[in-house]
Structure 1
């Protein structure tokens, strides 16, 4: 099973989905902004990506500064912020066989297959 955490308004997300489909992969599409992640799902994605929470954050989003987040924020603060503001989650994320990759650039996700 392959899942893409997708934002159709994002060009990289659309490109990644198209790349998967061009390679014969029909992923389950999770529109994470309409179906928000819960804490365990977000923590699992961070573990599958093998990154720190800051690496999954869109730090240039207005919400990042509005929430008072900065380089000294704790992982827990970052996770809570992403749970409450899905626009802060970097996208797209593709999960396959319990491993995940960010689609930036889209070709990164092909390493999963």
Structure 2
């Protein structure tokens, strides 16, 4: 079961954006008043429940504005080599369960504010999430 407070980053130590995002989150933990859980998702893949929460917190299910393609929003969760292989969120979850390396990264879930951010194509969304935490926006 995933935590219900603080932040969780789904991290791949081999990924530059993931390392930068995780360092930023770790550096600001005390000032931002949050606990950080770092999950190396290749070793500890996210559960289906966590993936469903991620989709919800990104606003993907109710078609909120976002960088995902409206006709294939689940591709946003997947690495480029896996995009186009799923026709639904359920199939995307299956791909990630079968090969956790197919999850796009880094993902950050803010359990307190019920939002999430992806560090692609850059880490600006994660930087914004941290800035809001530092400003006390809960």
- TM tier, shorter chain? 0.7 to 0.9
Matches within 5 A, 1:1-113: 1-22=6-27, 24-25=28-29, 27-51=36-60, 52-60=73-81, 64=82, 69=85, 73-96=87-110, 97=112, 98-104=114-120, 105-112=122-129, 113=133
CA RMSD in angstroms comes to: 2.0
Deviating beyond 6 angstroms after TM superposition, the runs of 4 or more aligned structure 1 residues are none
Whether the 8 Å contact between 1:19 and 1:106 is mirrored in structure 2 is: no
Extract unaligned runs of 5+ from structure 2: 1-5, 30-34, 61-72, 134-138
Deviation at 1:57, TM superposition (A): 0.7
Deviation at 1:84, TM superposition (A): 1.2
TM-score computed with the length of structure 1 as normaliser: 0.80
| Alignment: residue pair count | 105
- Any idea what the Cα deviations from partners look like across 1:56-83, whole Å, max 9, x if unmatched? 11122xxx38xx816xx23322221111
Extract unaligned runs of 5+ from structure 1: none
- Any idea what the Cα deviations from partners look like across 1:28-55, whole Å, max 9, x if unmatched? 1011111112211111111112233211
Whether the 8 Å contact between 1:13 and 1:103 is mirrored in structure 2 is: yes
TM-score computed with the length of structure 2 as normaliser: 0.67
Whether the 8 Å contact between 1:33 and 1:87 is mirrored in structure 2 is: yes
Name the CA distance, whole Å, in 2 between partners of 1:31 and 1:106: 18
Deviation at 1:93, TM superposition (A): 0.7
Whether the 8 Å contact between 2:77 and 2:92 is mirrored in structure 1 is: no
